[in-house]
Amino acid sequence: METKRFTIQDENDAPLIEEAARIIKDGGLLAIPTETVYGLGANALDADAVHRIFEAKGRPQDNPLILHIADASYLARYCTDVPESAYRLAERFWPGPLTMILPRRDCVPDVTTGGLSTVGMRCPDHAVTLAIIRAADVPIAAPSANLSGRPSCTTAAHVFEDMDGRIDGIVDGGACAVGVESTIIDLTCDPPRLLRPGGLALEDLREVLGEIAVDKAVVSQLAEGEKPRAPGMKYRHYAPKAPVTVVSGDAKRAANYIALRAECGAGVICFDEYAPLFPRCTVRTIGAAADERAHAQRIFDALRSFDETDVCAIYAQCPDARGLGLAVGNRLKKAAGFHVIDMDAMRTVGITGPTGAGKTSVLRALASLGAHIIDCDALYHEMLQSSEELRSAIADAFGDVFAPDGTLDRKRLGACVFSDKDALLRLDLTVREHLPRELMRRMEGHSLIGIDAIKLIESGIANVCDVTLAVTAPEEVRICRIMARDGIDEAYATARAKAQKPSAFYEENCGRVFVNTAATPAQTEKQARAFFETILSELEVKGNG
Ligand code: TXA
Ligand code: MG
């Protein structure tokens, strides 16, 4: 089938409006622009035409369609028992990105509503489309114009990508002003229930309706077999081909987390301010962090654009749940199959400091408060054995430093780096490229984390921490401890202590300092525990505030 492209300047272009409306009247399929996303329209009262929508989209038949109407006077034609609140909402928000679920009349065929006794009604804010509806004089059933499972279309070019040859026509109305689908509110229950967050903020709806329940499918993944009230919410939607990970919570920490976690060549969706953090990724910006309208306008375009690239994974920053952020976050989380890392649900304490200061005891105190401890030095040694990526990077840089049985020959690597400053720097950079990524992965799923890293600051790991803590002690105390711990003489212990960065470096670069002068490890642990209790309760207050 040839798909005709209509470029209709405005609602006064009567001949073209008439020609487009004729497609609807004749039972054809016409993609229409709306303020939210493009719709794939057909006469909602013509069961055969509606069938063709499902075919063209590859959409499951049990997923009902929304009726697009020209104004609130159409409500009573297709719905019964229309509550007075529906008219109040229409008065305030129509034409606009709001769909109301109401009891349907029998004139609306089963195929349109997926057999439900209710129907979704929406009056889109697009002058050309409203003129087409009036000219056709029927409600237009229209799902979003994407192929089922792909991100919704916000430009006519996207519709062409998905629908060329499958439908009769596409009306090009430019880029969609809102960019995410309409908000769906179910008015058949009490209190009314938000089924899908969208282009109209929940806060605005509450101003008119008062209490509104939020359907579970809006904020979380449904269990296997669990039925959402909006059947469409159960599908993995809006998904690009590469797997998506959403990182929510404090924007700066989220961006830093992605910067450390994303592999070279991954895709990143971020707020404009943070784009420079990802020089080796394919980046799509969605507007400044505070610009929620831009996020909505650009989110589908960003998701869709990765399908033209060969990124292996996508990481996305996520707006908070206020205003349009609820809808944008919902679409991102659905694209991610609800694989979400919430920086605000993860309290992270980064601990650093010179040897002999008592970090081990301090970490034990944090562990006793339930923290998951990650020791970067231990992780490094583990990765030398188990990480193929790190091992091949080391082999690339230093040649054959692995014994025939595959274990690292530390002497050989040591010989390469200890005599040669540049080589040491190269090793450092190689580790810095691989270790933080594995560290970020291991933080996932823990609510309280302690990271023990001698290079906490230099590696950038400090940037994802809520608290950075320098554990230090006067040099003479450290020397005594090193002698006792390692069984070495004073001269050697002094050389060890002096080879490291001075305490002042750690103290200047960390948010907190714990000066450990305790006489025994047990005392250190006790004092550190009290110290952490204070810090954690401060974080709690900040988190709730
Ligand atoms: O902004 C929009 O709403 C766009 C534009 C084209 O108007 N349309 C749109 O349609 O997003 P669609 O089909 O992609 O999504 C409609 C959603 C689906 O999740 C569907 O399950 C739900 O609305 N829905 C439709 N009728 C319903 C009903 N009677 N009860 C509950 N949910 C319903
Ligand atoms: Mg859709």
Query: Which residues in the chain are classed under CATH 3.90.870.10?
Result: 4-218
Specify the pLDDT at position 338. Answer: 93
For the cut 90, the answer to whether the pLDDT of residue 302 exceeds it is yes
Residue 308 has pLDDT above 90, yes or no: yes
- 512: closest CA among 531, 526, 529? 531
Q: Where are the beta strands (DSSP E) in 158-261?
A: 169-172, 183-186, 193-196, 213-214, 244-248
- The topology (CATH level 3) of 4-218 is DHBP synthase (3.90.870)
Q: What is the mean pLDDT of the chain?
A: 94
CB of 230 within 6 A of ligand 1: the answer is yes
Q: Is the pLDDT of residue 459 over 90?
A: yes
For range 30-45, the mean pLDDT: 98
Ligand 1 pocket check for 129: Cβ under 6 Å = no
Q: How far apart are CA 418 and CA 410, in angstroms?
A: 11
Give the burial class of 433: count Cβ atoms within 10 A of its Cβ; 0-12 exposed, 13-18 middle, 19 or more buried. middle
Confidence check: pLDDT of 540 > 90? no
Indicate where the chain has its CATH 3.40.50.11030 domain(s): 244-343
Q: Quick one: how far is CA 288 from the chain centroid?
A: 16
Pick from 399, 396, 472, 491: nearest CA to 434: 396
- Does 366 score more than 90 pLDDT? yes
Among protein residues, the one whose CA lies closest to atom 22 of ligand 1: 230
Domain with CATH 3.40.50.300 in the chain: 346-544
Question: Mean pLDDT, to the nearest integer, of 333-347?
Answer: 94
Mean pLDDT of 422-439: 93
Angle (CA) 295-259-394 rounded to 5° is 155
Sign of the four-CA dihedral 52, 58, 63, 67: negative
Of residues 325 and 59, more confidence is placed in 325
Output the CA torsion sign for 22, 69, 46, 78. negative
pLDDT of residue 75: 97
The count of C-alpha atoms lying within 13 angstroms of the C-alpha of 110, restricted to the half-sphere facing its C-beta, is: 3
Residue 236's pLDDT is what?
65
Q: Does ligand 1 come within 6 angstroms of the Cβ of 33?
A: no
Percent of the chain with pLDDT over 70: 99
Average pLDDT, integer, range 356-372:
96
> Which stretches does DSSP call E strand in 384-492?
448-452, 467-472
Cα separation, 123 vs 477, whole angstroms: 75
pLDDT at 234 over 80: no
pLDDT of 370 over the 70 cut: yes
- Ligand 1 site, residue 150, Cβ cutoff 6 A: no
Fold designation for 244-343: Rossmann fold (3.40.50)
Environment of ion ligand 2 (residues, CB < 5 A): 144
Nearest CA to ligand 1 atom 29: 119
d(CA 121, CA 191): 19
Is 177 a pocket residue for ligand 1 (Cβ < 6 Å)? Answer: no
- For residue 298, the surrounding DSSP H or E stretch is helix 292-305
Structure tokens at 507: 């103290």
- Residue 247: pLDDT band with limits 50, 70, 90: very high
pLDDT at 172 over 90: yes
Q: What is the pLDDT of residues 479-538, one digit of tens each?
A: 999 999 889 999 999 998 988 899 999 999 999 999 999 999 999 999 999 999 999 999
CA–CA distance, 264 with 161 (Å, rounded to integer): 29
The confidence band for 543, taking pLDDT boundaries of 50, 70 and 90, is low
Q: Is the beta carbon of 143 within 6 A of some atom in ligand 1? A: yes
Residues paired with residue 449 on neighbouring β-strands, in sequence order:
348, 372
pLDDT above 80 for 115? yes
Centre of ligand 1 to C-alpha 209, Å, is 21
In sequence order, what are the residues at sequence separation of 6 or more whose Cβ sits closer than 8 angstroms to the Cβ of residue 391?
384, 402, 408
Is the pLDDT assigned to residue 414 strictly greater than 90?
Answer: no
Architecture, CATH, for domain 346-544 = 3-Layer(aba) Sandwich (3.40)
**Res 544 pLDDT > 70:** no
Q: Tell me the ligand closest to 196's alpha carbon.
A: 1
Q: Ligand 1, from 54, 123, 178, 184: best to mutate by most atoms within 8 Å of Cβ? A: 184
pLDDT, residue 314, reads 98
- The H-assigned helical ranges of 42-164 are 47-57, 75-78, 84-93, 110-113, 127-136, 156-163
The residue among 434, 457, 386, 465 whose CA lies nearest residue 263 is 434
Identify the nearest ligand to the CA of 154 by its number. 1
Higher pLDDT, 333 or 60: 333
pLDDT-based confidence at residue 232 (cuts at 50, 70, 90): confident
Give the atom of ligand 1 at the shortest distance from the alpha carbon of 145: 6
The pLDDT score that the predictor gives to residue 499 is 87
Q: Using the 8-state DSSP alphabet, how is residue 487 labeled?
A: T
Q: What is the pLDDT of residues 416-430, one digit of tens each?
A: 888 888 998 999 999
Which residues have CB under 8 Å from 452's CB, separation 6+?
351, 352, 359, 363, 373, 374, 375, 376, 377
What pLDDT score was predicted for residue 138?
Answer: 97
